[in-house]
């Protein structure tokens, strides 16, 4: 009888313990933050209150603003980054890259400029540059300075804005234009230059289509149709 009571008491105590643990551990995850592919290491910057995550398969480091748990930047590093560490003495973050036996050193005190992705455009196309991926590790507001460094000269509207624009020149051969972005924070610290290449492809002539052959009767009103004509670039209206 006593033995049966002890078994019952132990079962009740065990059930009560698991029930209490369930309450304590119910949904402890407060946020899920998408980062790069196969995150492998993490480091915390005490000064900026930002988290740095190395992404093994995408060769990047994700920068997370811990005040809102959002990724604010991706930094390209070496091949297959694994471990990551923050040095509070010089405000640098160190990343070991096992794929190429290197260590990437990230300066977390200076702003970082990102001039955007290279792209191909057509003559006369309005081209928007984009520096919105630039960031300051301390969250300081940035000022932007864009300049053209190669290619036929164009007028760059809004060269002190995040997204300046220009009209692609008329060219007879494929022609690259290179633009450079430098950002500066409120403390007067400037980033290293970041460049983007815009390639203007050779203009492609429009294609005329006069429609189908027709057989008609005398005095019949005949409607011709050139509506299937097209401009391969899709940028220039056609005249007929």
Task: Give the pLDDT confidence of 228-237 residue by residue, as tens digits.
Answer: 888 776 666 8
Q: Taking the domains of the chain in order of start, what are their residue ranges?
A: 39-107, 119-200
Question: Sorting pLDDT into bands at 50, 70 and 90, what band is 215?
Answer: confident
pLDDT for residue 159 is more than 50 = yes
> Is 190 in contact with 143 (CB distance < 8 Å)?
no
pLDDT for residue 21 is more than 70 = no
pLDDT for residue 49 is more than 50 = yes
Average pLDDT, the chain: 85
DSSP state of 13: H
Question: Sorting pLDDT into bands at 50, 70 and 90, what band is 26?
Answer: low
Alpha-carbon distances of 149 from 123, 146, 177, 180, rounded to whole Å: 19, 10, 8, 7
The tokens describing 116, both together, are 């955007």
pTM of the model: 0.56
pLDDT for residue 138 is more than 80 = no
The pLDDT, as a whole number, for residue 13 is 46
The pLDDT, as a whole number, for residue 28 is 83
Q: E-assigned strands of 77-142?
A: 81-87, 92-97, 102-107, 119-121, 126-128
β-pairing, 194-200 vs 119-121, is parallel
Q: Which residues contact 1 (CB under 8 A, 6 or more apart)?
A: none
Q: Which fold has domain 119-200?
A: Immunoglobulin-like (2.60.40)
CA distance 13 to 15: 5
The pLDDT, as a whole number, for residue 9 is 43
Check residues 43 and 19 and name the one with the higher pLDDT: 43
Question: Sorting pLDDT into bands at 50, 70 and 90, what band is 20?
Answer: low
How crowded is residue 192: how many other Cβ atoms within 10 Å of its Cβ? Answer: 11
Q: What is the pLDDT of residues 172-182, one digit of tens each?
A: 899 999 999 99
Weakest-pLDDT range from 56-60, 195-199, 207-211: 207-211
The pLDDT, as a whole number, for residue 98 is 95
Question: Sorting pLDDT into bands at 50, 70 and 90, what band is 164?
Answer: very high
Tell me the CATH number for domain 39-107: 2.40.10.500
The pLDDT, as a whole number, for residue 37 is 93
Q: What is the pLDDT of residues 58-94, one digit of tens each?
A: 999 988 888 899 888 788 899 999 999 998 888 889 9
The pLDDT, as a whole number, for residue 70 is 87
Check residues 108 and 69 and name the one with the higher pLDDT: 69
Report the share of the chain in percent with pLDDT over 70: 87
Question: Sorting pLDDT into bands at 50, 70 and 90, what band is 217?
Answer: confident
């Amino acid at each position: 009888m006593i033995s049966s009571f002890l078994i019952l008491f132990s079962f009740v105590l065990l059930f009560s313990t698991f029930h209490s643990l369930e309450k304590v551990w119910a949904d402890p995850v407060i946020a899920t933050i998408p980062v790069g592919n196969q995150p492998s290491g993490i480091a915390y910057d005490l000064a900026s209150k930002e988290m740095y995550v190395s992404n093994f398969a995408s060769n990047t480091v994700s920068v997370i603003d811990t005040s809102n748990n959002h990724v604010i930047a991706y930094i390209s590093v070496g091949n297959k980054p694994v471990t990551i560490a923050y040095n509070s003495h010089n405000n640098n973050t160190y990343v070991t890259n096992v794929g190429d036996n290197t260590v990437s050193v990230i300066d977390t005190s200076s702003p970082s400029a990102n001039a955007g992705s290279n792209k191909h455009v057509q003559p006369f196309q309005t081209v928007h540059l984009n520096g919105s991926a630039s960031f300051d590790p301390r969250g300081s507001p940035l000022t932007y300075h864009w300049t053209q460094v190669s290619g036929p000269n164009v007028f760059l509207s809004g060269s002190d804005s995040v997204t300046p624009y220009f009209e692609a020149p008329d060219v007879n051969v494929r022609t690259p234009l290179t633009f450079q972005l430098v950002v500066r924070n409120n403390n007067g610290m400037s980033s290293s230059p970041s460049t983007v290449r815009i390639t203007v492809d050779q203009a492609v002539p429009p294609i005329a289509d006069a429609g189908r052959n027709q057989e008609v009767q005398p005095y019949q009103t005949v409607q011709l149709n050139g509506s299937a004509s097209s401009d391969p670039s899709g940028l220039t209206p056609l005249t007929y």
